[in-house]
A and B are shown apart, each in its own frame.
Chain A
Amino acid sequence: MLYFARWKVAAILGVILLSVLLTLPNLLPRSAIPSWLPARQISLGLDLRGGSYLLLEVDLNAVIKERLEGLADGARTRLRQANIGYTNLAAQPEQRRLSLRLRDPGQAPAAVAALRELANPITSLATGVSTPDLEVANADGLVTVTLSEAALRDRAAGAVEQSVEIVRRRIDQTGVSEALIARQGTSRVLVQLPGVEDPNRIKDLLGRTARMTFRLVDDTANLQAATPPPGVEFLDGEQPGTRYAVRRRIEVDGANLSDARAGQNPQTGQWVVNFTFDSVGTRRFAEVTRQNVNRPFAVVLDNKVITAPNINEPITGGSGQISGSFNAQSANELAVLLRAGALPAPLTVVEERTVGPELGADAIRAGLISLAAGATFVFLYMGLAYGLFGWLANIALLVNLIMMAAALSLLEATLTLPGIAGVVLTLGTALDANILINERIREEARAGRPPASALEAGFSKASGTILDSNLTNLIAMGVLYAMGSGPVRGFAVTVAIGTIVQMWTATTLVRLFVSWWYRARRPRTLPV
């Protein structure tokens, strides 16, 4: 038992050497490491390096509402084509359905059939079966078109995925480096912005859907009327006090833009946004402008009319210019938003945590002082209370810390303030296994066993207890990792790694030290 095969010794020392090598990149700045080296570093959490954490929620109700409004348009067309009379066509977002009453209940089968054609199939990833996303029902001429549960989930997932992509593009445009953007849960997007002290600019950028549409203005409509004529809506203009009657039909969508840049009009010096369409957009824009020369054409952004100039001549080149009341900043912002694309639904900030770099530096300093003090206390206690074996355990503890750093680097883990607390606490727990072993050796020696046999019995009998008792820590940390968020997860990771590493150092490394000592000294009594 106290004998270690030569390859085993080599393997143990190899693991330690490897750990030291893995830890080294952390001591150097990233730029000092040649790029061909597979160096991994521990990164600092936002609470330590400063930065901003935003949790955004996708407004899924808006997604449902939009889908229902689209369905309402589709239903109107289909029913008109099928010559089916109806009244009270309305979207009911709360019940996620569309309802209408047929003038002639006898036409119900035809109406149901016509409305069923509006459905899109949804293919389940798990089963591969595709089902329609709508359920059409008829009760005495009251026809309802309900979005199915699966359809809602599908829509929500799609909207969140798309939001993540758009948020990423918008943030990329701002030049914040190392931003982390990820989906969280069913309706949220997590954004981490290292080094950003004032996230207001980014919040503004993310707070707009930036849906741009080009639509015709209905110049015959009476703006004073209580309700707009069918197919038309009243929208406010960007300039206060202005109001336009804009057709609901979208002629060209902002999604068909291929580029947008802020610029200045060379004649007036006014700030404008120059844009270019992709091929589909170019074709459609040319067609619309050719058919509507001398009529006003509205540029609508997030339900506000930015400008509605008259079409002087067909625009076939696929590029144009938006001039509103821009200054340099707002023109640039709009260009960024247009380049990145529209969000499928509005985003709200539901959680914000911003830490300045000063506090982070304070926290690191406090953490290091605690670590140094804790290490000193624990070292002294262990050495004084357990003598030689305690000092050996202390050497193992140093190795333990290095191995933890190596494991954290290998995982490219994020070190947070609670994570540092985890490292400090690990100092205390790391010696648990050594204490168990030492106490056991002592008991066996006092029971009258000769040294070699007492050492052997101590290590082997204690290892069962060590495994049993440390598993409980791992369970607790597993739960904490699964349920916790951000910084607290960092704690769970460091404590879990520390627990695993200490089991190894106590049962293998300390045993190797003890075997070396024993073979060198051949003691008649043990210093326990």
Chain B
Amino acid sequence: MFLARPLFRLMPDDTKIPFMKGGKIGIAFSIFLSIASVILAFYPGLEKGIDFRGGIVMEVRTPEPANLSALRNATGGLNLGDVGLQQFGDANTVLLRLPVQGDEAATQTAVNSVRGVLESVAPGARILRTEAVGNRVSGELFLGSLLALGISMVAMMIYIWFRFEWQFAVGAIVTLLLETTKVIGFLAVTRIEFNLTTVAAVLTIIGFSVNDKVVVYDRVRENLRKYKTMPLRELIDRSINETMNRTLGTSMTLLLSALPLALFGGDALSGFAYTMVFGIIASTSSSVFIAAPILLYLGENKLRRGAEVAAPLGGRASTR
């Protein structure tokens, strides 16, 4: 049966690509992109969703194609601030956004007055979804999300520190910071809404990214024991080449599962899924071009400390 054998490999075997040569350029480029991302996150800024900004979102389906200008006039007359109206999906569906009102009670009143206006402007319109978040709650959700991102990074660092040497932990956390800022930059550029779901995507990316780093690091550690005298640069290159197929394979299956969500998952999930897709690509390349070089520069003399002792005993690559 021909299917019993692998049909293709993403990478040929026994590659000897000197990834570390690109380390400095990779890190410099990554820092540049991250700084740009941070700037973009403040100017023009993130498209904060209702979760973090507060306010009201209503999805309305009208019996006939919606008359946006009539709706705009009617809702604008309510004195509720900037009313955002846009078509959502098809011509009969309208997404209506209102800024956060004075306090929670005012927000509730606003929801009711919009309901009333809809009845008169578009009789028979159905409200498919209402979300109203007060400003205190949105503030808490935003802080909570930032806290969750921070806690997860610290937890990852402690975990890697515990399982490996500190150089590995520093490498992972710096990479994570660079990567997370780039995801934020991606959100700012694409105007994907920054909300609780996107934060879930970012946290998931953090988890998978560290997963990726751990596999490479694990191989570095194994090779450190195996090749007692090999220079660290060569050793890290070798480890990356050895794990390349796995790194790409896992990223590929992840991409193949995230892509359908982006394509068919509907409006609610597409932002999440595109963020995931970007994050998967970013984390795969950062494992190779960021996390590994940082390990090289931090560990150049330290991780190989045992080498001087071991060298006279076994001057050649041991097989175990």
Report which A residues bind B (CB closer than 8 A): 47, 55, 57, 198, 200, 203, 348-356, 358-359, 362-363, 366-367, 369-371, 373-374, 377-378, 381-388, 390-391, 417-418, 421, 424-429, 431-432, 435-436, 439, 443, 446, 464-465, 468-480, 482-485, 487-488, 491-492, 495, 527-528
Looking across the interface, which residue of chain A has its beta carbon closest to that of B132?
Answer: A352
- Chain B contact patch, size range: 35 or more
Select A390's contact among B6, B59, B272, beta carbons within 8 Å.
Answer: B6
Instruction: Verify B141–A377 contact, CB threshold 8 A.
Output: no
Return A497 CB to nearest CB of chain B, in Å.
Answer: 14
Instruction: Verify A468–B214 contact, CB threshold 8 A.
Output: yes
A128 CA / B219 CA spacing, docked (Å) = 55
Instruction: Verify A429–B131 contact, CB threshold 8 A.
Output: no
Task: For chain B, residues 63 to 96, give those with C-beta under 8 angstroms from any C-beta of chain A.
Answer: none
Per DSSP, are chain B's interface residues mostly helix, strand or loop, or mixed?
helix
Q: Report B-chain residues with C-beta under 8 Å of the C-beta of A355.
A: 128-129
Question: Contacting chain A: which of B18-26, B232-240, B245-253, B292-300?
Answer: B245-253
Instruction: Verify B218–A465 contact, CB threshold 8 A.
Output: yes
Select B246's contact among A353, A356, A439, A483, beta carbons within 8 Å.
Answer: A439
A391 CA / B5 CA spacing, docked (Å) = 10
Say yes or no: A384-B261 contact (C-beta < 8 A), given A350-B104, A428-B255, A472-B210: no
A429 CA / B283 CA spacing, docked (Å) = 14
Task: For chain B, residues 126 to 158, give those with C-beta under 8 angstroms from any C-beta of chain A.
Answer: 126-134, 136-137, 141, 144-145, 147-148, 151-152, 155-156
Say yes or no: A349-B108 contact (C-beta < 8 A), given A356-B126, A374-B257: yes
Looking across the interface, which residue of chain A has its beta carbon closest to that of B272?
Answer: A421
Instruction: Verify B269–A370 contact, CB threshold 8 A.
Output: yes
Say yes or no: A417-B206 contact (C-beta < 8 A), given A373-B264, A388-B4, A388-B5: no
Instruction: Verify B144–A473 contact, CB threshold 8 A.
Output: no
Select B260's contact among A377, A464, A491, beta carbons within 8 Å.
Answer: A377
Q: Interface centre among A362, A374, A418, A427, by most B CB within 10 Å? A: A374
Instruction: Verify A384–B163 contact, CB threshold 8 A.
Output: no
**Contact of B273 with A by CB under 8 A:** yes
Instruction: Verify A374–B249 contact, CB threshold 8 A.
Output: no
**Contact of B120 with A by CB under 8 A:** no
Instruction: Verify A436–B7 contact, CB threshold 8 A.
Output: no
A485 CA / B133 CA spacing, docked (Å) = 14
Q: Report B-chain residues with C-beta under 8 Å of the C-beta of A479.
A: 148, 151-152, 155, 203
Instruction: Verify A354–B130 contact, CB threshold 8 A.
Output: yes
Select B148's contact among A382, A421, A465, A484, beta carbons within 8 Å.
Answer: A484
Q: Report A-chain residues with C-beta under 8 Å of the C-beta of B108.
A: 203, 348-349, 352
Instruction: Verify B265–A470 contact, CB threshold 8 A.
Output: no
Return A53 CB to nearest CB of chain B, in Å.
Answer: 9
Instruction: Verify A358–B269 contact, CB threshold 8 A.
Output: no
Q: Report A-chain residues with C-beta under 8 Å of the C-beta of B5.
A: 387-388, 527
19 A–B contacts, CB within 8 A, in A order: A198-B127, A348-B108, A354-B131, A369-B264, A370-B263, A377-B257, A384-B3, A388-B4, A425-B254, A428-B254, A428-B256, A431-B250, A432-B250, A435-B250, A472-B156, A472-B210, A475-B159, A475-B207, A492-B200
A358 CA / B268 CA spacing, docked (Å) = 14
Instruction: Verify B13–A425 contact, CB threshold 8 A.
Output: no
Instruction: Verify A350–B137 contact, CB threshold 8 A.
Output: yes
Instruction: Verify B155–A475 contact, CB threshold 8 A.
Output: yes
Q: Report A-chain residues with C-beta under 8 Å of the C-beta of B17.
A: none
Looking across the interface, which residue of chain A has its beta carbon closest to that of B9?
Answer: A385
- Closest 6 pairs between A and B when the two form their complex, measured CB to CB: A476-B207, A428-B257, A373-B260, A483-B148, A428-B254, A366-B266
A349 CA / B197 CA spacing, docked (Å) = 22
**Contact of B196 with A by CB under 8 A:** yes
Instruction: Verify A351–B260 contact, CB threshold 8 A.
Output: no
Return B206 CB to nearest CB of chain A, in Å.
Answer: 5
Q: Report B-chain residues with C-beta under 8 Å of the C-beta of A391.
A: 3-4
**Contact of B177 with A by CB under 8 A:** no
Instruction: Verify A349–B257 contact, CB threshold 8 A.
Output: no
**Contact of B211 with A by CB under 8 A:** yes
Select B104's contact among A348, A439, A527, beta carbons within 8 Å.
Answer: A348
Select A435's contact among B3, B253, B258, beta carbons within 8 Å.
Answer: B253
Q: Report B-chain residues with C-beta under 8 Å of the C-beta of A362.
A: 266
Q: Report B-chain residues with C-beta under 8 Å of the C-beta of A381.
A: 252-253, 256
Instruction: Verify A353–B130 contact, CB threshold 8 A.
Output: yes
Give me 17 other A-B pairs in contact (C-beta within 8 A), A359-B59, A480-B148 excluded: A349-B108, A355-B128, A358-B126, A362-B266, A373-B263, A378-B257, A388-B3, A391-B4, A418-B197, A424-B260, A425-B254, A429-B257, A431-B253, A468-B214, A468-B218, A473-B207, A483-B148
Return B123 CB to nearest CB of chain A, in Å.
Answer: 16
A370 CA / B256 CA spacing, docked (Å) = 11
Return A176 CB to nearest CB of chain B, in Å.
Answer: 17
Return A527 CB to nearest CB of chain B, in Å.
Answer: 5
Say yes or no: A377-B196 contact (C-beta < 8 A), given A366-B265, A484-B148: no
**Contact of B113 with A by CB under 8 A:** no
A382 CA / B258 CA spacing, docked (Å) = 15
**Contact of B215 with A by CB under 8 A:** yes
Return B128 CB to nearest CB of chain A, in Å.
Answer: 5
**Contact of B174 with A by CB under 8 A:** no
Q: Report B-chain residues with C-beta under 8 Å of the C-beta of A353.
A: 129-132
Return B8 CB to nearest CB of chain A, in Å.
Answer: 6
Q: Report A-chain residues with C-beta under 8 Å of the C-beta of B261.
A: 370, 374, 421, 424-425
**Contact of B111 with A by CB under 8 A:** yes
Q: Report B-chain residues with C-beta under 8 Å of the C-beta of A366.
A: 264-266, 268-269
Instruction: Verify A383–B3 contact, CB threshold 8 A.
Output: yes
Q: Report B-chain residues with C-beta under 8 Å of the C-beta of A55.
A: 137
**Contact of B208 with A by CB under 8 A:** yes
Select B208's contact among A47, A57, A471, A473, beta carbons within 8 Å.
Answer: A473
Return A203 CB to nearest CB of chain B, in Å.
Answer: 7
Q: Report A-chain residues with C-beta under 8 Å of the C-beta of B269.
A: 366-367, 370, 417-418, 421
**Contact of B15 with A by CB under 8 A:** no
Q: Report A-chain residues with C-beta under 8 Å of the C-beta of B132.
A: 349, 351-353
Q: Report B-chain residues with C-beta under 8 Å of the C-beta of A483.
A: 144-145, 147-148, 151
Say yes or no: A370-B253 contact (C-beta < 8 A), given A388-B4, A475-B156: no
Instruction: Verify A351–B133 contact, CB threshold 8 A.
Output: yes
Select A378's contact among B10, B210, B256, beta carbons within 8 Å.
Answer: B256
A47 CA / B128 CA spacing, docked (Å) = 11
Instruction: Verify A428–B258 contact, CB threshold 8 A.
Output: yes
Instruction: Verify A429–B208 contact, CB threshold 8 A.
Output: yes
Return B7 CB to nearest CB of chain A, in Å.
Answer: 5
Q: Report A-chain residues with C-beta under 8 Å of the C-beta of B190.
A: none
A371 CA / B258 CA spacing, docked (Å) = 10
Instruction: Verify B196–A472 contact, CB threshold 8 A.
Output: no
**Contact of B105 with A by CB under 8 A:** yes
Q: Report B-chain residues with C-beta under 8 Å of the C-beta of A439.
A: 243, 245-246, 249
Q: Interface centre among A383, A439, A477, A528, by most B CB within 10 Å? A: A439
Instruction: Verify A358–B128 contact, CB threshold 8 A.
Output: yes
Instruction: Verify B211–A370 contact, CB threshold 8 A.
Output: no
Instruction: Verify A472–B159 contact, CB threshold 8 A.
Output: yes
A396 CA / B89 CA spacing, docked (Å) = 38
Q: Report A-chain residues with C-beta under 8 Å of the C-beta of B211.
A: 432, 469-470, 472-473
Instruction: Verify A387–B136 contact, CB threshold 8 A.
Output: no
**Contact of B276 with A by CB under 8 A:** yes
